[in-house]
């Protein structure tokens, strides 16, 4: 059993995340996670893989969820508050701390976190999408931490983030390498993004800060 690492972000890091989220609405932070925390998360991923606890990810919300191999090829493990691994507990505490920080500094109504470890096989991908489901507005802020040591450009697997909300996938984009320690944040409703195929297995921890309830969209 690992010892419990400290929270993933100190207040200086939370301030960086908060400033980026306010404007332009997204941010990419290489080396934001401490080496200790990265190692803890990588260790957790290895444990879950060894115990065969990942399942093929679906597309859509709630009862509408379906496996669609032509859209995404990752397998995932949902983090639970009562996971025995101290690093999972520390991460969730950190994410709840971020909710509080964004409530206080950005006046966003964020009250809970959901997140999963994800493994994309070699040649895996996730086609362009928005993280906020059409049926629910619960996902407000996306937070991704990458867990790939020694990842280089030739390995592919970049996260392509389309930075112009109006133009979407026809507009400008940035490509982010999924290197261990890098953290990406963006407003879930505003940024189209996709995972490009990689040469190697690609690991990440993806999650969302959520609003208080599942607000139905008006029809």
Question: In the complex, what is the shortest distance from the CB of residue 154 to ligand OGA, in angstroms, rounded to a whole number?
Answer: 18
Which residues inside 30-49 make contact with ligand OGA, applying CB under 6 A? Answer: none
Q: Does 190 bind Mn ion (CB under 5 A)?
A: no
Cα separation, 183 vs 194, in Å, equals: 16
CB of 163 to ligand OGA, least distance (A): 15
- Cβ contact 183:33 at 8 Å: yes
If phi over 0 gives left and psi between -120 and 50 gives alpha, with beta otherwise, what is residue 183? beta
193 binds ligand OGA (CB under 6 A): yes
Choosing from 74, 131, 155, 190, the residue that interacts with Mn ion (CB under 5 A) is: 131
Report the site for ligand OGA in 73-132 (rule: CB under 6 A).
118, 126, 131
Binding partner selected for residue 209 from Mn ion, ligand OGA, none, CB under the kind-specific 5 to 8 Å limit: none
For residue 37, whether the previous peptide bond is cis, meaning omega lies within 30 degrees of 0, is no
Q: Which is nearer to Mn ion, 131 or 155 (CB)?
A: 131
Q: Which is nearer to Mn ion, 160 or 179 (CB)?
A: 160
Contacts of 103 (CB under 8 A, 6+ apart): 109, 110
Q: How far is the CB of 32 from ligand OGA (least distance, A)?
A: 15
What's the closest the beta carbon of residue 4 comes to ligand OGA, in angstroms? Answer: 26
Could you give phi then psi for residue 183, rounded to 5 degrees? -120, 135
Judged by CB under 6 A, the residue of 195, 198, 209, 211 near ligand OGA is: 195
Is 140 an interacting residue with respect to ligand OGA (CB under 6 A)?
Answer: no
Helical pair 35-50 and 86-106, crossing angle rounded to 10 deg: 130
DSSP string, 179-216: BTT-EEEEETTT--EEEPPBSS-EEEEEEEEE-SS-PB
The DSSP letter of residue 120 is E
The residues binding Mn ion (CB under 5 A) are 131
Interface residues with ligand OGA (CB under 6 A) are: 118, 126, 131, 144, 159, 178, 193, 195, 204, 206
């Amino acid at each position: 059993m690992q010892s419990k690492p400290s929270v993933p972000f100190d207040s200086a890091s939370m301030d960086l995340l908060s400033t980026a989220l306010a404007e332009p609405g997204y941010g990419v932070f290489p080396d934001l996670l401490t080496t200790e925390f990265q190692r803890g998360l990588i260790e957790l991923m290895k444990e879950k893989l060894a115990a065969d606890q990942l399942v093929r990810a679906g597309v859509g919300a709630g009862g509408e969820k379906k496996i669609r191999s032509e859209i995404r090829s990752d397998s995932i493990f949902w983090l639970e508050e009562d996971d025995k691994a101290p690093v999972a507990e520390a991460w969730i505490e950190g994410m709840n701390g971020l909710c509080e920080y964004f409530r206080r500094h950005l006046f966003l109504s964020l009250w809970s976190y959901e997140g999963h470890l994800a493994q994309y096989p070699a040649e895996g991908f996730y086609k362009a999408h928005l993280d906020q489901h059409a049926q629910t507005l619960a996902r407000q802020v996306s937070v991704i931490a990458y867990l790939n040591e020694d990842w280089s450009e030739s390995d592919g697997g970049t996260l392509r983030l389309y930075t112009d909300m109006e133009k979407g996938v026809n507009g400008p984009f940035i490509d982010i390498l999924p290197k261990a320690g890098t953290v990406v944040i963006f407003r879930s409703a505003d940024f189209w993004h996709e995972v490009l195929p990689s040469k190697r297995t690609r690991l990440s921890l993806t999650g969302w800060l959520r609003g208080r309830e599942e607000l139905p969209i008006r029809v």
